Structure 1
Amino acid sequence: MSEATPARLLVVDDDADMLRLLSMRLQAAGYRVSTAVSAEAALALLEVERPQLVLSDVRLPGRDGLALFDEVRSRHRSLPVILLAAHGTIPDAVEATRRGVFTYLTKPYDSKELLERIAQALALGAPEASAGPADEAWRSEIVSRSARMADLLAEARMVARSDASVLLRGDSGSGKELLARAIHRASARADRPFVAVNCGAIPETLLESELFGHVKGAFTDAVSNRKGLFQEAAGGTLMLDEIGDMPPALQVKLLRVLQERAVRPLGSSQSHAVDVRIISATHRDLDAAMAAGQFREDLYYRLNVVTLTLPTLAERREDIPLLANHFLHKLAPKYGRRISSFAPEALKALIAAPWPGNVRQLYNVVEQVCALGTSPLVPLSLVQRALRAPSVQVLTYAEAKQRFEREYLVGLLKLTDGNVADAARLADRNRTEFYRLLQKHALTPGHFQSQGAERGLSPSGDDAK
């Protein structure tokens, strides 16, 4: 572990003396330590900072250490967890190791053994824990401070160490090719070629030749021998983008290549051995495609040794300001603009936008504002124009609460045909309080009775109030 970048540990224990003792010992060993006295406090800390390891007592108030582990595993799959178990909780800790806890230690624990287990967990579970700036070059194209992306990159770094085939899942524009390139750069094949092909963008008649190559005379336009992408990527990585769009006939031939580790160019009787690492990517649901007979199950399992799923941009909104300014500084010089940043309201609009096109759409929006911008600060109007959403509205918490409350009341009145007693009951509020809420939002129950009357319903007497 580098002294310049010591790993951060999160220690969870409701015993203040034990928590202080653990912190002192771990800090003396060179670690940075954050502490929490409950599972809830630990989960809140995980939202703002990502440690490289969680060390938790099994017995905690409220949610116990096992529940904390389950929550950590669902949010941060690569984050190792070590449990400290008192005698009565050992069976639970043993069960937890079967479910994925790195290990457990019984109290009273041996300090030397604890430090050894922590070092082992960090070495296996968080390869980037001791990385310095020079070690971050492999992921330099991926701009993020999201905890979710940090977990994904930790998994990607681990996978890169092997030659296992990787399937990248994620919506269009979420950055699958960037992640594939990062995995390649972090692998032992980094000094060999990285070759990417979009399987859905090339006609079937050409895709086979593109992948496997051809010999002169194999078809009308084959005027010379040509190597395919498998051979061009020799010793390196071949990315098969949008693999879910590959025609069924080619799926059979691809499977044969993966099984035999050799390609036969079109028109040739001779096969050539190939040594490539396969990373495939898709935005399609391959499970549904297999069920519909559109994708071969045997090929799926060849490609899907490890699955990595990229979050949408909407699921990592904390990255939007970072990405927007990164793209701005990259694109402004291209258009000869002296644009330094976004106006605060423009940045809020970017954060609030839905982003169906993910990071690619954000890049396009920033490029448009760079092309049209005339001032040092990008104004809200220009962002709205680029988003094609002039009605973009960023609400304050009070405004959002007010809007939700009104829409909720309207929904209840519609559901009950203006019956205040029934609506108040559904809202778990007494009728007097419910009337105050209706008055606050200028809602008249009688306006909703006509809807019931039009459907042939008979309102109760309470509706008229």
Structure 2
Amino acid sequence: MPSLSNKKVLLVDDDDSIRWVINETLCDLNLNVTQSSSAEEAIESLSKNSYDLVISDVRMPGSSGLDLLNHCQKHYSGMPVIIMTAHSDLDSAVKAYSKGAFEYLPKPFDIDEVSEIVIKALNKRTPKKEKMAPMSKSNFSIIGESTAMQNLYRAIGRLSNSHVSVLIKGESGTGKELVAHALHQHSPRKNKPFIALNMAAIPKDLIESELFGHEKGSFTGANARYLGRFEQADNGTLFLDEIGDMPLETQTRLLRVLSEGAFYRIGAAQPTNVNVRIVAATHQDLLQKVEAGEFREDLYHRLNVIPLNLPSLRERKEDVSLLANYFLHEISLELNEPEKELSKNCLIAMQDFAWPGNVRQLENTCRWLSVMANGQYVVKEDLPEEFHENKTPKFNSGWQKQLSNELKNRYADGENNSFVQVQKRFEQLLIKTALELTSGKKAEAATMLGWGRNTLTRKQKEDS
């Protein structure tokens, strides 16, 4: 890795404690750090000094971090800017990336992640980005503050200047079409059509006509020319939902369109040229379907240029409260009724629920509560029947039996320090599993274990 010792970083945040934490991290990397508490102070510092990187918060008194980002893009093109924010959502992520931010970092952040991003930024100059049309507020709400959703916002932000194909993967009810809408709404094609077609909802013998259109008289019942979804979406985005249900013969035609940018309407003698961005979605394992000969491998790779994996609701339970309150508010406006309020025990029950139908099921539950719950204050007993059914134990008893047998063997061998040894091994296994599940992010792993990040770091040092 190239030396960072001569690199200069301008750190901008009105919060002294945040600046202190990041400054300590940057100094550990042997970086030369200058601190500013406002965008105005940072702009003045930039006019007098040369910097290799700017790290700035978004919301500060006076000018914002995005104003500072605009200034840097205008006067110091190519210098990377990392944007931090404690108020993270899809729009702020897209704004940061579309204005040229090198990275978007939601608070609270993992210090190790900060180090990785800073090193990456200092070793790579940011290319000048194509300007986008001014971004309008999306009509399609994607709600969530969990780490999984922050990663999704960042991915959509990175794709905001792109025309590449995207494959959205996720369980039913996770919001795949909402994400497809967001990709379109925050792209250069935003003022062009967004056309959706669900492969599972169209009879197989009508799919090709729906996609590619037909000429008058091309088959029985074709009484007029019909422009298919590809032509309807010209210069815009075509969203193909449940792509795994597309028949093989249609997959072949779709592959040809993606390769050549042209197709024939059914019954047509001349090809039709189109410029369409494809966003596909599936809840199935397409690679498994490829192995089974049910999905073309070449089409899979054409569609899977950028994969987006949507988390299930049980993987982001911290968003349940936020989503539920959002739905209850929207439904109250729709019904012109007072908004329901969820009690603490009701929220706990909702967060503990498995949500097999994901966000769609949560919305339907909120709709049910808005109509059926007695009074404005909703308690646990008001929840639908499925919340009161007997739950299966969270842990299989098999591991307990294995542990018991292991201890019996140790006692039989005369060991007297079994508790300490088993406890240590058990703890090491918990830490290892949590780090694997969070891709090595210590802050997330510590949260999963119910510890603070410093506790996790200390225990790792004790084991090393």
Question: One fold, TM greater than 0.5?
Answer: yes
Secondary structure of 1:226's counterpart equals coil
2:122 corresponding residue in structure 1:
103
1:458 corresponding residue in structure 2:
none
Q: Deviations over 1:130-180 (max 9, x none)?
A: xxxx95724851111123212211211221311111111111111111011
Q: Distance in 2 between matches of 1:184 and 1:14?
A: 38
Q: Distance in 1 between matches of 2:414 and 2:143?
A: 49
Normalised by the length of structure 2, the TM-score is: 0.64
Q: 1:379 to 1:227 in 2, by over 3 A?
A: same
1:349 corresponding residue in structure 2:
349
Q: 1:424 to 1:323 in 2, by over 3 A?
A: farther
1:260 corresponding residue in structure 2:
260
Contact 2:23/2:33, CA 8 A, preserved across alignment:
no
Q: Distance in 2 between matches of 1:308 and 1:300?
A: 14
Shift of 1:296: 0.9
Q: 1:412 aligns with which of 396, 403, 416?
A: 403
Q: Distance in 2 between matches of 1:323 and 1:404?
A: 28
Q: Distance in 2 between matches of 1:406 and 1:263?
A: 58
2:443 corresponding residue in structure 1:
none
Q: Distance in 2 between matches of 1:296 and 1:288?
A: 11
Q: Distance in 2 between matches of 1:135 and 1:5?
A: 27
Q: 2:33 aligns with which of 22, 37, 54?
A: 22
Q: Distance in 2 between matches of 1:358 and 1:427?
A: 46
Superposition pairs of residues 244-255 of structure 1, within 5 angstroms: 244-255=244-255
Q: Distance in 1 between matches of 2:299 and 2:395?
A: 48
Contact 1:168/1:176, CA 8 A, preserved across alignment:
yes
Superposition pairs of residues 289-368 of structure 1, within 5 angstroms: 289-368=289-368
Q: Distance in 1 between matches of 2:213 and 2:346?
A: 50
Q: Distance in 2 between matches of 1:424 and 1:200?
A: 64
Shift of 1:377: 1.2
Contact 2:104/2:154, CA 8 A, preserved across alignment:
no
Q: Deviations over 1:345-404 (max 9, x none)?
A: 11111111111211111111111111212311112112243x4434479xxxxxx9xx98
2:458 corresponding residue in structure 1:
none
1:32 corresponding residue in structure 2:
57
Shift of 1:122: 11
Contact 1:80/1:122, CA 8 A, preserved across alignment:
no
Secondary structure of 1:429's counterpart equals helix
2:211 corresponding residue in structure 1:
211
Residue 167 in structure 1 maps to residue 219 in structure 2: no
Q: Distance in 1 between matches of 2:407 and 2:28?
A: 59
Q: Deviations over 1:46-100 (max 9, x none)?
A: 998879359xxxxxxxx9x9xx35xx7xxxxxx97123xxxxxxxxxxxxxxxxx
The amino acid that maps onto 1:389 is H
Q: Distance in 2 between matches of 1:244 and 1:190?
A: 26
Q: 2:118 aligns with which of 59, 67, 82?
A: 82
Q: Distance in 2 between matches of 1:333 and 1:384?
A: 22
The amino acid that maps onto 2:118 is I
Secondary structure of 2:354's counterpart equals coil
Superposition pairs of residues 445-456 of structure 1, within 5 angstroms: none
Q: 1:316 to 1:136 in 2, by over 3 A?
A: farther
Q: Distance in 2 between matches of 1:4 and 1:230?
A: 48
Secondary structure of 1:52's counterpart equals strand
Contact 1:209/1:266, CA 8 A, preserved across alignment:
yes
Q: Deviations over 1:195-227 (max 9, x none)?
A: 111112212101110101111222222121111
Shift of 1:259: 1.5
Q: Distance in 2 between matches of 1:4 and 1:139?
A: 32
Q: 1:217 to 1:156 in 2, by over 3 A?
A: same
Shift of 1:324: 0.4
Contact 1:339/1:378, CA 8 A, preserved across alignment:
no
Q: Which runs of 5+ in 1 are unaligned?
A: 34-45, 55-62, 73-78, 84-100, 105-116, 129-133, 394-399, 434-465
1:52 corresponding residue in structure 2:
104
Q: Distance in 2 between matches of 1:367 and 1:19?
A: 55
Q: 1:252 to 1:427 in 2, by over 3 A?
A: farther
Secondary structure of 1:370's counterpart equals helix
Q: Distance in 1 between matches of 2:303 and 2:395?
A: 45
Q: Distance in 1 between matches of 2:149 and 2:329?
A: 22
1:232 corresponding residue in structure 2:
232
Q: CA RMSD in A?
A: 4.3
2:418 corresponding residue in structure 1:
428
Normalised by the length of structure 1, the TM-score is: 0.64
Contact 1:243/1:281, CA 8 A, preserved across alignment:
yes
1:176 corresponding residue in structure 2:
176
Q: 1:389 to 1:425 in 2, by over 3 A?
A: farther
The amino acid that maps onto 2:214 is H
Q: Deviations over 1:436-455 (max 9, x none)?
A: xxxxxxxxxxxxxxxxxxxx
Q: Distance in 1 between matches of 2:281 and 2:165?
A: 11
Contact 2:167/2:303, CA 8 A, preserved across alignment:
yes
Shift of 1:411: 5.5
Q: 1:424 to 1:354 in 2, by over 3 A?
A: farther
Q: Distance in 1 between matches of 2:414 and 2:142?
A: 50
1:11 corresponding residue in structure 2:
22
Q: 1:20 to 1:340 in 2, by over 3 A?
A: farther
Contact 1:349/1:384, CA 8 A, preserved across alignment:
no
Contact 2:138/2:185, CA 8 A, preserved across alignment:
yes
Shift of 1:14: 6.0
Q: Distance in 1 between matches of 2:374 and 2:126?
A: 52
Q: Distance in 1 between matches of 2:370 and 2:413?
A: 51
2:152 corresponding residue in structure 1:
152
Shift of 1:121: 5.9
Contact 1:230/1:276, CA 8 A, preserved across alignment:
yes
Q: 1:356 to 1:217 in 2, by over 3 A?
A: same
Q: Which runs of 5+ in 2 are unaligned?
A: 1-11, 44-55, 59-83, 89-102, 424-464
Secondary structure of 1:249's counterpart equals helix
1:220 corresponding residue in structure 2:
220
Q: Deviations over 1:207-249 (max 9, x none)?
A: 1101011112222221211110001111110001111111111
Shift of 1:425: 6.6
1:389 corresponding residue in structure 2:
388
Q: 1:382 to 1:336 in 2, by over 3 A?
A: farther
Secondary structure of 1:24's counterpart equals strand
Q: 1:326 to 1:14 in 2, by over 3 A?
A: closer
Shift of 1:333: 3.9
